[in-house]
Structure 1
Amino acid sequence: MSSRRVGIAWMLTSATAYSLFTVFGKHVLNQLEPIDVIFWRFLIAAPVSWVIVFTRRARGIGASPRDVAWKPRFLMGVLFGLLAYFAFAGLNLMSGALYVVIIYTYPAMVAIGAKLVGSRTSKHIWVGVGLTVVGIAFTVPEVLDPSNDSSMLGVVLTVVNAALYAGYILYSERIMAVDSGGRAGDGFVAAAWGMLGSLVFATVLVVISGGVTAPSGASYVLAMMSLALVSTVVSITAFFMGVKHLGPAHAAVVASTEPILALAWLVLIGGETLVFAQVVGAALVISGVFAAQRTPST
């Protein structure tokens, strides 16, 4: 199989795994607070990632953790832990469908951030930004209701989440550009260092907050395990492997399937419904995602 096809397979795996994040997260938030969720998420995910790394090394596969510039990846993990907190805090205050539409404004924010740091941006990106803005206008009219304080706070937290995720992507692209190819590009090792950083961040939050509550009941434990293993270990590892084979730009195109899948899971599994205005808004935001990731022909 060609490197391109391998990369596409990794990115589709990542997109599918992460698209289930909202379903798992929404369910477990019925019992736990956001700080509890991110702590258990990374307490489960980080050790599993390292077990995978050391198992592969024992078989002579992949890079040694010492071969990788671990500090930037650890810092990426800390940033991911921070944005994960805002993700759960926002999701806790709104419907899953509304969260999905708002969080996928991040490609537009990536475009703006890239422009600010001096990267070239194409007209397709700015078309995507425009579609995203119009889509949000269709999707969240209810937050203009002054009596809907919780929904407005959820929107603000999710916008911050999207901005942090955009920064995470820009930072990861710089790391990949400096440290591309070879053994140092091993996605399993990168994911393991990153999740260790996220776990450290989550642990600090727990210490500051004064304690943590564990999930109880089969459905909540299963949702928490799925969130940690499927939507964290699988999605993040597959993401790094996909970027390694495709590069950030082409990987982002394949990852654009995420919002479609996420909304589908929320309707099919989560039992949520979309009103017509939200359907139109979601379609515009998703179109904006595809437009922003489109590369001009040469």
Structure 2
Amino acid sequence: MSDASPAPVRAAAPSAARSGMLLALLAALGFSSLGILGKLSAQAGLPALAALPWRFGLAALLLLPWSRGQTRRTRGRMLGVGLLYCLATHAYFLALGRITASATSLLLYLAPAFVLLSSALFGRRPTRLQLGGAALTLLGLLVVVGLPGGQDNNALGLSFGVLAAALYGGYLLASERWLSGAPPLASTAAMSLSAAVYFGVLDSLDGQLVVPQGWPQWGIISGMALLPTLLAVPALYAAIARIGAARASLLATTEPLWTVLLAALFLGDRLRLAVLLGGACILAGAALAQVRGRTVQAPLEL
């Protein structure tokens, strides 16, 4: 850790800030397609966990040409960030197996709170607008996904949900601190390689490693590799580089809203009034958190 005193963070140029916000929204939209593709995968006879090694393996294979020329230190950091993502995803699925999908999604989007808390511990205090935005987005999520019900009285499942949020927040912060200046496609390649190996070993140990069969399953795998991986992950890394992990994570809370809208468009799900009201709160909170506040302290260099 550096001995230098933390210096004020320079505000991003308006053009960089705008592009960062658009990239964060694009990442949220890309990630939201995973829920739809996951349902289609199950309908095609391929469980979501069984699809993960192939999704990430295909993405890693396609991105290998962009991962050259990185130092050993940078490669190590990229793989470390990828491992954090794997651990967060694993905790998410462990929670999903014990509590409802709504409660799991709600707990996962506590991640911005962990990002703000961790940033404060490293000397970068969140602004009041960021705190207000986080509270407003949490209110919107409560409306969109619903309050935890009686079927969510599982302490282990709730613990895994909170752990997933903490690990995902750590993944976002590590992306900001360790991958600054690294090409987004190279970072995505390393993350995808980590995830392909991690979930391949996990499925092998559980006896769930299967080879996709036929064009329907391979088509879904291709969609998972393209939208929530090759599109969303580099967009997220690029957004974090421009506006920071805290602001990017708050914009990421729009993902459940996009998921609901995509489900209505492609799966015929009905749009409830609560979804529209909650979505408005999420968007308002995400927008509020992007308003420039006071100059804050930068985190200490690791």
TM-score by length of 1: 0.74
Aligned partners of 1:70 and 1:193 also within 8 Å: yes
- 2: distance between equivalents of 1:135 and 1:254? 13
Amino acid aligned to 2:202: L
* Alignment of 1:188 onto 2:185: yes
Amino acid aligned to 1:23: I
Q: Which runs of 5+ in 2 are unaligned?
A: 1-13, 296-302
Aligned partners of 1:15 and 1:235 also within 8 Å: yes
Superposition deviation, residue 3 in structure 1: 6.7
SS at match of 1:193: helix
| Cα displacement string for residues 240-263 of structure 1 (whole angstroms, at most 9, x for unaligned residues) | 234445554665576565444333
SS at match of 2:284: helix
Query: Paired residue for 2:174?
Result: 171
* Alignment of 1:287 onto 2:301: no
Query: Paired residue for 2:120?
Result: 115
* Alignment of 1:28 onto 2:33: no
Question: What CA RMSD, in Å, does the superposition of the two structures yield over aligned residues?
Answer: 3.7
Aligned partners of 1:29 and 1:37 also within 8 Å: no
Q: Identity of paired residues, percent?
A: 27
| Cα displacement string for residues 3-36 of structure 1 (whole angstroms, at most 9, x for unaligned residues) | 7376566545434322312211232244334431
Tell me how many residue pairs correspond in the alignment. Answer: 280
- 2: distance between equivalents of 1:271 and 1:154? 30
1:214-253 alignment, distance < 5 Å: 214-245=211-242, 247-248=244-245
| Cα displacement string for residues 215-246 of structure 1 (whole angstroms, at most 9, x for unaligned residues) | 33543332221112221122212322344455
Aligned partners of 1:252 and 1:293 also within 8 Å: no
Aligned partners of 1:16 and 1:258 also within 8 Å: yes
Quickly say closer, same or farther: Cα 1:133–1:240, change in 2 above 3 A.
closer
Q: Which runs of 5+ in 1 are unaligned?
A: 55-63
1:72-221 alignment, distance < 5 Å: 72-88=77-93, 103-139=108-144, 143-145=148-150, 148=151, 157-176=160-179, 180-181=180-181, 185-221=182-218
- 2: distance between equivalents of 1:286 and 1:105? 16
TM-score by length of 2: 0.73
| Cα displacement string for residues 69-128 of structure 1 (whole angstroms, at most 9, x for unaligned residues) | 111110111111222234455567888777655543422332233234442111112213
Aligned partners of 1:18 and 1:258 also within 8 Å: yes
